Amino acid sequence: MPPPPVPSPPPEGLPRGPWRAAVAHHFSVRHCGLARRADLLEAGFTKAELEADLDAGRLIMVGPNTIAVPTAAVPHWLGYGKKYDGHHLPLGVTGMAKDGRRARQLKATALMAPPRKAGPATVDTAFAPFWWAVWESGTRAALDGASALIAEGMSGFVLDHIEISVPLGARIHPHPGVRITQRRVLGPLRPGLPRVEPAMATVRAAQLAVSDRQAALLICLPVQQRIVRAEELLARWTTVRRSPRRSFLDAVIKDVCDGAHSFGELDFARFCRERGLPEPVRQQLRRGPKGRIYLDVAFECGLVVEIDGVQHSLGLAPVDDALRANAVTLQNRRVLRIPVLGLRLDPGAFLDQVAHGIRLMTRG
Specify whether 265 is located in the same domain as 191: no
Specify whether 299 is located in the same domain as 164: no
Contact 16, 10 (CB under 8 A): yes
Judge whether 217 lies within some domain. no
Specify whether 183 is located in the same domain as 272: no
- Is the pLDDT confidence value at 300 over 50? yes
- Is the pLDDT confidence value at 162 over 80? yes
Residue, of 187 and 118, whose pLDDT is higher: 187
Residue, of 95 and 82, whose pLDDT is higher: 82
* Average pLDDT of every residue of the chain: 79
Specify whether 147 is located in the same domain as 286: no
CA distance 333 to 299: 10
183-238, pLDDT tens digit by residue? 998 888 999 999 999 999 999 999 999 999 999 999 999 998 999 999 999 999 99
Judge whether 148 lies within some domain. yes
Judge whether 10 lies within some domain. no
28-59, pLDDT tens digit by residue? 989 988 999 999 999 999 999 999 999 998 99
Over the range 123-146, which residues count as b (16 or more CB within 10 Å of their CB) and which as e?
bebbbbbbbbbbbbbbeebbbbbb
Provide the pLDDT for residue 256.
Answer: 86
Domain boundary among 139, 162, 196: 196
Residue ranges of the alpha helices (H) in the chain? 17-30, 37-43, 47-55, 70-73, 108-111, 128-137, 145-152, 198-208, 212-224, 230-237, 246-257, 259-265, 268-275, 317-329, 340-345, 347-363
pLDDT winner (highest mean) among 52-61, 107-116, 252-261, 328-337: 52-61
The per-residue DSSP string of 251-295 comes to: HHHHHHH-HHHHHHH--HHHHHHHHTPPPPSEEEEEE-TTS-EEE
pLDDT (average), residues 241-251: 89
Can you say whether the dihedral through the CA atoms of 280, 282, 284, 287 is positive or negative? Answer: negative
Label the pairing between strands 66-68 and 34-36.
antiparallel
Q: How confident is the model at residue 107 (pLDDT cuts 50, 70, 90)?
A: very low
Q: Which domain holds residue 137?
A: 17-196
- Is the pLDDT confidence value at 316 over 90? no
71-89, pLDDT tens digit by residue? 654 444 444 344 444 434 4
Judge whether 223 lies within some domain. no
Specify whether 171 is located in the same domain as 283: no
Judge whether 218 lies within some domain. no
Domain boundary among 175, 196, 217: 196
Provide the pLDDT for residue 99.
Answer: 29
Please report, rounded to a whole number, the percentage of residues in the chain having pLDDT higher than 70: 74
- Is the pLDDT confidence value at 97 over 50? no
- Is the pLDDT confidence value at 114 over 60? no
Judge whether 44 lies within some domain. yes
- Which residues partner with 35 through β-bridges? 67
Residue, of 291 and 213, whose pLDDT is higher: 213
Sheet architecture: strand order including 142-143: 178-183, 162-167, 142-143, 195-196, 189-190
Specify whether 148 is located in the same domain as 273: no
CA distance 252 to 209: 14
Provide the pLDDT for residue 141.
Answer: 96
Judge whether 246 lies within some domain. no
Specify whether 187 is located in the same domain as 268: no
249-269, pLDDT tens digit by residue? 998 998 888 765 556 556 788
Q: What's the CATH code of the domain at 286?
A: 3.40.960
Max intra-chain CA distance, the chain = 97
Provide the pLDDT for residue 120.
Answer: 36
Can you say whether the dihedral through the CA atoms of 243, 220, 349, 295 is positive or negative? Answer: negative
Provide the pLDDT for residue 89.
Answer: 43
Judge whether 65 lies within some domain. yes
Number of domains in the chain: 2
CA distance 183 to 18: 43
Domain boundary among 174, 196, 218: 196
pLDDT (average), residues 281-301: 75
Please give the C-alpha separations between residue 156 and each of 53, 96, 272, in angstroms, as whole numbers: 40, 27, 34
Provide the pLDDT for residue 116.
Answer: 39
Specify whether 183 is located in the same domain as 322: no
Provide the pLDDT for residue 105.
Answer: 26
CA distance 14 to 280: 87
Provide the pLDDT for residue 132.
Answer: 94
Q: How confident is the model at residue 96 (pLDDT cuts 50, 70, 90)?
A: very low
pLDDT (average), residues 130-158: 94
Specify whether 191 is located in the same domain as 285: no
61-70, pLDDT tens digit by residue? 888 999 998 8
